[in-house]
Amino acid sequence: RFTAVLSIIWFRIGFFGIQILKERHRFIVLQEEVIFNMAGYNDDDYNYSVSGSDNESQGMSDDDGIAMEQEDDNPPKDPATDCIILNQDTLQKDMNDLIKEVSQIVQISNGAIRILLNHFKWNKESLLERFYECANVDEFLRSARVAADPLKMGDGVDGKEKECSICCSVVLLTGLSCRHYACRPCWEKYLTTKVLVDNTSIIECLYPGCKLLVDDEHVMSLMGTNEAARSAFTRLSVNGFVESNRLLRWCPAADCGKAIKVSHCEARVVECSCKCRFCFECGHEWHEPVNCRLLKLWLKKCNDDSETSNWINANTKECPKCHVTIEKDGGCNHMTCKNTACRSEFCWMCLGPWEPHGSSWYSCNRFDDSQAKQARDAQEHSRAALQRYLHYYNRFMNHQQSLRLENKLYTSVKVKMDLMQKNSMSWIEVQFLRKAVDILSECRRTLMYTYAFAYYLKRTNESEIFEDNQKDLELATEQLSEFLERDLETENLVTLKQKVQDKYRYVEQRRSVLLKHCAEGVERDSWHFNQ
């Protein structure tokens, strides 16, 4: 019995020893693969080898393959999906529920409550706080332009027919608590125009200068059976609920119609059910690493400058005195500024004053004149600023265009995935191609916004590190893009899978490094920008 127990103990020690050696061997192999990827070697110049088996000769053992599939099946939780997606019906229900909650405290109609909540950006706590603090409820309601005691529609003026001040018809009139009356047809036409033409659900009294708002019950009553107007008013009310609520934002994707709800408002990425990822704070597509404020400045500058900057750079110069941009429309180098407050005369060639040039009207050899040199220096500084802008703008637009063009990759990738499934690979096994294109698109988008970030970034040691990371990501992205576009039809399927996975993992790792460095700079307040 003692011998048997001893044998079992030695067997278990030997078994665990073998497992430890296997794990150590696997760690060394994975470490070598990471070093290989970081060094940027070409896959064709390096043969992966872990053991002598056919499967393992492709650069990954059976155990590693199982581990990788498990990793892909259980990815970490994406913070972009940590939000609530609401459709039109749910939004309307949430809006009505909130109105009912407030109406139990503020004893006015539901339609007036909607106007009141809209005034407070649909912040129930803020509304109720102000309500409890106010000394006079009527004053509180009037501050939000809500009628404290709306008249019942249809009563007219003392129940008598009177002349409508708009169409001059003698009929029963109706109006709000402001005592501005009109006939029902005039009210209907006015409200319908506001809803269908002006696209608004916040409607003032029809009397010029009166700021009192018409509540929902009055709007629906006066628009009668006009279903188009009634439906549009309901839709606009929901739209106002979303746009005025700081915790809600419409998905910007075309024809989506859903809204995103978050627990707190900040610049963060959110993802709709239509797969559209965007910044919750500004509503633009996700633009990491540049912040919302700088992105707004950049897009405005692009819209203002990009159309004409190239032409201005090639065909104009600035007046050396008042710096107005001037186009040369004749062969004479004697220029006269047309700015009435300037009217300076100068030489087009050297930008110096014209008077010393004497009779040299068509050629200029006075390049050493100090005043002309100052003008040329100022001109060169202006041109250098323009050239700097064009440098970042052209690269921004190039990545934007590449991002659009690479959307075509999804079609070719789908064809390749279908072919691989016909060659005995499962659906889950071929998803690496789709993931590669997804990662490529994300890297293109990140690179695009790094140029907006870099344009405003001041030169520091940190900015040089940023540019090195940007360069590494750009190089890796271009290599992955080239590989996916050229080699999909020529590679062995198993070899193709290994190469694509290696490349997109490295690209994703370089993107993570760049974004992490940018985030750390924000935390340390080490980024300094030119405004």
User: In DSSP terms, which residues pair with 261 in a beta bridge?
Assistant: 84, 248
pTM: predicted TM-score of the whole model, two decimal places:
0.66
What distance in Å separates the CA atoms of residue 395 and residue 153, rounded to the nearest whole number?
A: 62
* pLDDT for residue 36: 41
| DSSP class per residue in 108-140 | S-HHHHHHHHHHTTT-HHHHHHHHHH-S-HHHH
Q: Are 373 and 351 in contact (CB under 8 A)?
A: no
Tell me the CATH number of domain 295-312+385-524, given options 1.10.3720.10, 3.20.20.70, 1.20.120.1750, 1.20.210.10. Answer: 1.20.120.1750
Let me know if 258 is exposed, middle or buried by CB neighbors in 10 A (0-12, 13-18, 19+). Answer: middle
The overall longest dimension of the chain from CA atoms, in Å, is 122
User: In DSSP terms, which residues pair with 269 in a beta bridge?
Assistant: 279
Q: Say whether 20 sits in a helix, a strand or coil.
A: helix
What distance in Å separates the CA atoms of residue 35 and residue 54, rounded to the nearest whole number?
A: 23
Q: Say whether 353 sits in a helix, a strand or coil.
A: strand
Which residues make Cβ contacts (< 8 Å) with residue 456, sequence separation at least 6? 294, 297, 298, 529, 530, 531
Which residues make Cβ contacts (< 8 Å) with residue 135, sequence separation at least 6? none
Picking from 99, 108, 95, the residue whose alpha carbon sits closest to that of residue 239 is 95
Could you give the residue numbers annotated as active site?
A: 332
User: What pLDDT tens digit does each residue of the chain (531 aa) get?
Assistant: 455 544 555 555 555 554 544 444 444 434 444 434 444 444 444 333 333 334 433 334 344 443 344 444 444 445 566 788 999 999 999 999 999 999 888 888 888 899 999 999 899 899 999 888 888 888 888 888 887 665 555 455 656 778 888 888 888 888 888 888 888 889 999 999 999 999 999 999 988 889 899 888 888 888 888 889 999 999 999 999 999 888 899 998 888 889 999 888 787 888 888 888 899 998 899 999 999 999 999 998 888 765 566 567 667 888 888 888 888 777 677 888 888 888 888 887 777 787 776 654 544 654 455 656 666 676 677 778 888 888 999 999 999 988 888 777 787 778 778 877 777 777 887 888 889 989 999 999 999 999 999 999 999 999 999 999 999 999 999 988 888 876 565 566 777 788 888 999 999 999 999 999 999 999 999 999 987
User: In DSSP terms, which residues pair with 174 in a beta bridge?
Assistant: 182
- Compute CA 257 distance to the chain's CA centroid, rounded to the nearest angstrom: 17
Q: Copy the structure tokens of residue 283.
A: 């509503």
Q: Say whether 465 sits in a helix, a strand or coil.
A: helix
User: Is the four-CA dihedral 327, 331, 333, 334 of positive or negative sign?
Assistant: negative
* Phi and psi, residue 171, nearest 5°: -145, 175
Q: Say whether 442 sits in a helix, a strand or coil.
A: helix
* pLDDT for residue 305: 63
What distance in Å separates the CA atoms of residue 462 and residue 454, rounded to the nearest whole number?
A: 11
| DSSP class per residue in 185-246 | HHHHHHHHHHHHTS--S--B-SSTT--PBPPHHHHHHHTTT-HHHHHHHHHHHHHHHHHH-T
Q: 335: left (phi > 0), else alpha (psi -120 to 50), else beta? A: beta
Q: What interhelical angle do 124-133 and 110-119 show, nearest 10?
A: 100
What distance in Å separates the CA atoms of residue 182 and residue 159, rounded to the nearest whole number?
A: 14
* pLDDT for residue 453: 95
Domain ranges of the chain: 88-244, 248-279, 295-312+385-524
Rg (CA), the chain: 35
Which residues make Cβ contacts (< 8 Å) with residue 464, sequence separation at least 6? none
What distance in Å separates the CA atoms of residue 164 and residue 18, rounded to the nearest whole number?
A: 99
Does a cis peptide bond (omega within 30 degrees of 0) precede residue 289? yes
What distance in Å separates the CA atoms of residue 402 and residue 22, rounded to the nearest whole number?
A: 44
